[in-house]
Structure 1
Amino acid sequence: MGIFSLQEDRPTPKAVYNVRVYTCATVAAFCAVMIGYDSAFIGGTLALTSFKTEFNWKQYSSHQAAIISENIVSLYQAGAFFGALGAYAAGHYLGRKKGLQVFSATFILGAGLMLGANGSRGLGLLYAGRVLAGLGVGGASNLTPIYISELAPPAIRGRLVGLYEMGWQIGGVVGYWINYGVSTTMKPSRSQWIIPFAVQLIPAGLMFIGLFFIKESPRWLMTRNQRRKALKNLCWIRMLPEDDLYMLEEVSAIDAALEQQHATVGLGFWQPFVALWNDRKVSYRFFLGCSLFFWQNTSGINAINYYSPTVFESIGVTGTNASLLTTGVFGLVKAAVTIIWILFLVDNFGRRNLLIYGAFLGGLCLYYIGAYIKIADPTHHPTTNGSLSSGGISAMAFFYLWAVFYTPSWNGTPWVYNSEIFPQNVRTLGQAFAAASNWLFNFLVARFTAQMFTAMGYGVYFFFASLMMCSIVFTFFLLPETKGIPLESMDILFSKELQPRIAHKIVMKQLHDDEEAFRRNVEGSGLGLEKGSKENLAHIEEV
């Protein structure tokens, strides 16, 4: 297979890979721009002298200041945790599209409240705005991967859900460089620190407006008995007529999956909770999805995102501007590698291989950084001219190398994986639990990282590196590969009869055999493969 080759579960018309499906995915992925921007800008903005002057930082001890900074950062994650759980109800009753509109509007309200904070009013509006903005991105982080996976052709599902990760990195780059820009070009003032907060409104506004121009998920509409609208939306997204064989196969697969779920679990609001409790296959996938975000957050990425000045200071980078510049380069590296991940890796190299190799190589990099800090102790033994030593330069090189290995593996792949593995009737609930677990672990990291660096020093890097190595064992023995598998075939992939290491190969062979049998039956019926007359559509679906 070439680098642009796609592993298809069946012959797929080229029209399916069209601008409409990419546009829908891109609009939904703007929520990730909001998330990435926040994770990048907040730590640097809190480090600005103008922000500390505005809120009289001198009145606090270093311990109190660290706790207040952690509160400002972590309230966002706390709100996101509850937003992710609340998105289950929004996704079930309102749908994917309207649910995203509600949560993007909530984020806009929160971002607006933050702009009202100042020294005389105190931090109250900032706290409230952070919670509301967190609710918005938490809900959107649940619904966006679901929405994209439900409209994506299987062969490019990883690439399309990967746009979510690309949005995250674009937001991160903007956030890092906004901080560097205001720090180097503006004198300390209220405008210097308020501008980074105001920029949040741009991606949120673009997403809110763009949502009016895309279609609702056909799969969700089918669950709500809106079949005619679902078929119309699916034809629009696929750019194929309703009687095309590809469309008939896809609709038949959706119908079969819904019939099975209706017979076994049900399609109501509470049935997924019953399935989670009673169906071991479903609960096992919930465990896998939530565990992926445990391993993701314990890799150290969010500790670096939220407290990058502290991280670079531990390596030996001194000065606010130098830290912000170094962080900006870090963001560019991640964004560049994410493009490679989307175009070449996620749908060719596979989810499972990326997680294993990324964890191993990334863990080695963190071990090196920790060893350097242990031996050189740059915080207590700085260089005379304030520049990095040769050892410090090597540590920075390994830090950027860690970003190269981590970004195309554990950064975005857990979101892709979780968007695929759940059955239709529990997909929103499954993604809600997975997204909520991400924000819970994210909250814990954001809340305690500053204290970890104070208490553990170089040990923080050994801690994160060791957990990355442990994630290899988890992935190797428990996670089957999902690339190219239709959503309706995930139950087969995760059946207990198949070992995770070989399940993908077996299911892909079965899908190709079923496809050949289907086409032979259609040919035997005397009907055309590409199109059937309206009166024969029901007969083709029955075949």
Structure 2
Amino acid sequence: MGVLPHVPGTRKGRARAYCFGFFICLAGFLFGYDTGIVGGVLTLKSYKNDFHYTDNTTVSAVMVSLQNAGAFIAALGVFPISERLGRKLTIQFAMILFCFGVILQVIPSHSLPCFYVGRVIAGLGLGSATAVAPAYNAEMAPKQIRGQLGSGMQSLFALGVMTSYWIDYGVSTGLPVSSRQWQIPVGLQLVPAVALGLGLLGCKESVRWLAKKERFDEAWASLTWIRADDGPEVKAEFNEIRVGLAAELRATEGLKTRELLEPANRYRLLLAFGIFLGQQCTGMTALAYFGPQFFKVLVGGGSQDLLITGLFGAEKFVMVTTYIFFFSEKWGRRPTLWISAILMACCFVTVNVVNKTTPAPKDHKATSAGIATVAMVFITNSIYQFSWGPLPWPYAAEIFPTRIREVGTSVGVSTQWLFNFVFSLTTPYMIKAWGSYTFTFYAILDLCMATLVFLFLKETKGRSIEEMETIFHSKSAFDVETARREGITKGLDGSVEEVEISPEWKRG
């Protein structure tokens, strides 16, 4: 099973594509680290001493919801900025904003409102970065490994969660009760944020964004940089991009917001919304936030639920990384999603049935049935990391034409942030009211998502971004193979306005 499939360009270009793709996914690491760090910080006595509060529930809810709200607003509204400034500069500005928010949280203000303001500002930066990074990645990645590189958002997210667990554990056991105990884990968010912002100085702007802005020399330089080659395959790819953009421009005749009303584009916007909604409906995000509460239902209280949560985080990273490097470009997007949703539903129903038909744990001692249900939850987590965890990120970025990719990815990622907030807010109440029946609730949602994917999702594995116009029956569809052949024979002469779209190329 080859880890590195053939891609256009040289071996150096293939390595550069992987390095660039996973580097951009540091935005996912920041998302995961922030998700995991908050819960641990709130348990520290030093944090409570510095901020002088007694209502743990309210502080927890406000702290999580404010950042999610800021991220949702930014993810939904960042596309005009990305369209104007480019992907690279937008992410750099987002990291400056994020760092400013983190600094407001770390300074010894002893003021919860100041900390909350820092959370909102950091959320604006984080939401912007997570919305733009998938589009940037998709527009630079070779189609043969676009799924791998896009799925890196989930891999780095899982790594961020796991890292945060261990840092929280380290400061709680290795440092005395002082401000440093909570400032260190919060302040460490600056490290990946600064690395991403400064690291982009050595990277090129998106090929397709540059071509859309008619900066064709820079676009060619960007493509040859990321492929580390300027041979026939790369020339063919560049011509495909140019012809695709020309077809978009001719088909839409300069329209802007009205382009979203074209049937093919409406369909894609609904898919971007739906696939990220489905990611949250699987129940695995709720498990990431509230693992100890879920595991307490299954095995009883005590420290064992925290230990299980730690192992759960480690499993997330191992499984999603295994999927990305060995299976992401071998399995189709559509069957992977609907089959996995059915399997997760079966696992969740099994957990509920076993939990309700066996004696409850007593005296904080896990029963054999409790251990079995935990094992089933771990299996469900593995299935999720092989499907709904990583796949929405590349899928929502790759299905849109260049002209509306900012809007499309913003809609998808803002959906993720919105329903992340909704399920993180409501799940504790579901656990309290329903107990293990919460698993059955998520099983029903999984079956709904499996049905919708089977009926409506389009397969995109191994197809170029320009080929999406044909897949979705857009009026700007064209014969990609003909364009690629002409790119090899004609070279790079001519601008996008001079590209002829012959009648025999057109489809739809």
User: TM-score of the superposition, structure 2-length normalised?
Assistant: 0.91
Superposed CA deviations along residues 83-134 of structure 1, whole A, max 9, x for unmatched, are 112220121011000000011111111111111366x42x112211111111
**Corresponding residue SS for 1:411:** coil
**Corresponding residue SS for 1:313:** helix
Is 1:43 equivalent to 2:34 in the alignment?
no
Number of residue pairs the alignment of both structures matches: 498
Task: Assess, with a 3 A threshold, how the Cα gap between structure 1 residues 295 and 430 changes in structure 2: closer, same or farther.
Answer: same
Q: Is this contact kept in 1: 2:235–2:492, CA < 8 A?
A: no
Note the aligned Cα RMSD (angstroms): 2.8
Is 1:150 equivalent to 2:139 in the alignment?
yes
Q: Which amino acid aligns with 1:254?
A: I
Is 1:261 equivalent to 2:248 in the alignment?
yes
Once the two structures are superposed, the pairs formed by residues 295-306 of structure 1 within 5 Å of their partners are 295-306=278-289
Given the alignment, which residue of 329, 332, 335 partners 1:353? Answer: 335
Task: Assess, with a 3 A threshold, how the Cα gap between structure 1 residues 316 and 5 changes in structure 2: closer, same or farther.
Answer: same
Given the alignment, which residue of 8, 20, 32 partners 2:16? Answer: 20
Equivalent residue number for residue 455 of structure 2: 477
Q: Is this contact kept in 2: 1:266–1:425, CA < 8 A?
A: no
Q: Which amino acid aligns with 1:274?
A: R
Q: Which amino acid aligns with 2:398?
A: E
Q: Which amino acid aligns with 2:264?
A: K
Q: Is this contact kept in 1: 2:223–2:238, CA < 8 A?
A: no
**1-structure distance, mates of 2:407, 2:493:** 39
Task: Assess, with a 3 A threshold, how the Cα gap between structure 1 residues 128 and 518 changes in structure 2: closer, same or farther.
Answer: closer
1:376 Cα offset (Å): 4.9
Is 1:426 equivalent to 2:410 in the alignment?
no
Equivalent residue number for residue 135 of structure 1: 124
Once the two structures are superposed, the pairs formed by residues 69-218 of structure 1 within 5 Å of their partners are 69-116=60-107, 120-121=110-111, 123-218=112-207
Structure 1 window deviating more from structure 2 (88-97 vs 357-366): it is: 357-366
Structure 1 window deviating more from structure 2 (485-494 vs 124-133): it is: 124-133
Equivalent residue number for residue 275 of structure 1: 259
Given the alignment, which residue of 284, 296, 307 partners 2:290? Answer: 307
Is 1:247 equivalent to 2:230 in the alignment?
no
Identity of aligned residues (%): 31
Equivalent residue number for residue 329 of structure 1: 311
Task: Assess, with a 3 A threshold, how the Cα gap between structure 1 residues 253 and 371 changes in structure 2: closer, same or farther.
Answer: same
**Corresponding residue SS for 1:225:** coil
Q: Which amino acid aligns with 1:347?
A: E
1:318 Cα offset (Å): 2.6
1:220 Cα offset (Å): 0.4
**Corresponding residue SS for 2:466:** helix
Q: Which amino acid aligns with 1:441?
A: F
Task: Assess, with a 3 A threshold, how the Cα gap between structure 1 residues 334 and 255 changes in structure 2: closer, same or farther.
Answer: same
Q: What 5-or-longer segments of structure 2 have no aligned partner?
A: 503-508
Q: Is this contact kept in 2: 1:7–1:347, CA < 8 A?
A: no
Structure 1 window deviating more from structure 2 (144-153 vs 184-193): it is: 184-193
Q: Is this contact kept in 1: 2:276–2:415, CA < 8 A?
A: yes
Once the two structures are superposed, the pairs formed by residues 497-512 of structure 1 within 5 Å of their partners are none
Task: Assess, with a 3 A threshold, how the Cα gap between structure 1 residues 111 and 187 changes in structure 2: closer, same or farther.
Answer: same
Equivalent residue number for residue 353 of structure 2: 371
**2-structure distance, mates of 1:430, 1:377:** 49
Superposed CA deviations along residues 479-502 of structure 1, whole A, max 9, x for unmatched, are 1211110000101112289xxxxx
Is 1:383 equivalent to 2:362 in the alignment?
yes
**1-structure distance, mates of 2:357, 2:327:** 37
Q: Is this contact kept in 2: 1:147–1:217, CA < 8 A?
A: yes
1:26 Cα offset (Å): 2.4
1:295 Cα offset (Å): 1.1
Given the alignment, which residue of 234, 255, 268 partners 1:285? Answer: 268
Equivalent residue number for residue 374 of structure 2: 396
1:457 Cα offset (Å): 1.9
Equivalent residue number for residue 224 of structure 1: 213
Superposed CA deviations along residues 493-531 of structure 1, whole A, max 9, x for unmatched, are 12289xxxxxxxxx9xx86xx36x965x89xxxxxx6x8
**2-structure distance, mates of 1:218, 1:81:** 27
1:184 Cα offset (Å): 3.2
Q: Is this contact kept in 1: 2:208–2:241, CA < 8 A?
A: yes
Q: Which amino acid aligns with 2:276?
A: F
1:17 Cα offset (Å): 4.7
Q: Which amino acid aligns with 1:233?
A: S
Given the alignment, which residue of 299, 304, 309 partners 1:316? Answer: 299
1:317 Cα offset (Å): 4.7
**2-structure distance, mates of 1:429, 1:303:** 27
Q: Which amino acid aligns with 1:275?
A: E
Q: Is this contact kept in 1: 2:32–2:157, CA < 8 A?
A: yes
Equivalent residue number for residue 505 of structure 2: none
Q: Is this contact kept in 2: 1:116–1:125, CA < 8 A?
A: no
**2-structure distance, mates of 1:481, 1:255:** 24
Q: What 5-or-longer segments of structure 1 have no aligned partner?
A: 498-506, 523-528
Q: Which amino acid aligns with 2:196?
A: M
Task: Assess, with a 3 A threshold, how the Cα gap between structure 1 residues 7 and 27 changes in structure 2: closer, same or farther.
Answer: closer
**Corresponding residue SS for 1:488:** coil
1:335 Cα offset (Å): 0.7
Q: Is this contact kept in 2: 1:43–1:308, CA < 8 A?
A: no
Task: Assess, with a 3 A threshold, how the Cα gap between structure 1 residues 363 and 22 changes in structure 2: closer, same or farther.
Answer: same
1:20 Cα offset (Å): 2.0
Q: Is this contact kept in 1: 2:278–2:449, CA < 8 A?
A: yes
Task: Assess, with a 3 A threshold, how the Cα gap between structure 1 residues 36 and 182 changes in structure 2: closer, same or farther.
Answer: same
- Give runs of ≥4 in structure 1 deviating > 6 Å: 531-538, 540-543
User: TM-score of the superposition, structure 1-length normalised?
Assistant: 0.85
1:205 Cα offset (Å): 1.4
Q: Is this contact kept in 1: 2:242–2:499, CA < 8 A?
A: no
**Corresponding residue SS for 2:205:** coil
**1-structure distance, mates of 2:46, 2:294:** 21
**2-structure distance, mates of 1:96, 1:305:** 30
Superposed CA deviations along residues 33-90 of structure 1, whole A, max 9, x for unmatched, are 10011112222322344434544454x3xxxx42431221111111111111222012
Task: Assess, with a 3 A threshold, how the Cα gap between structure 1 residues 534 and 150 changes in structure 2: closer, same or farther.
Answer: closer
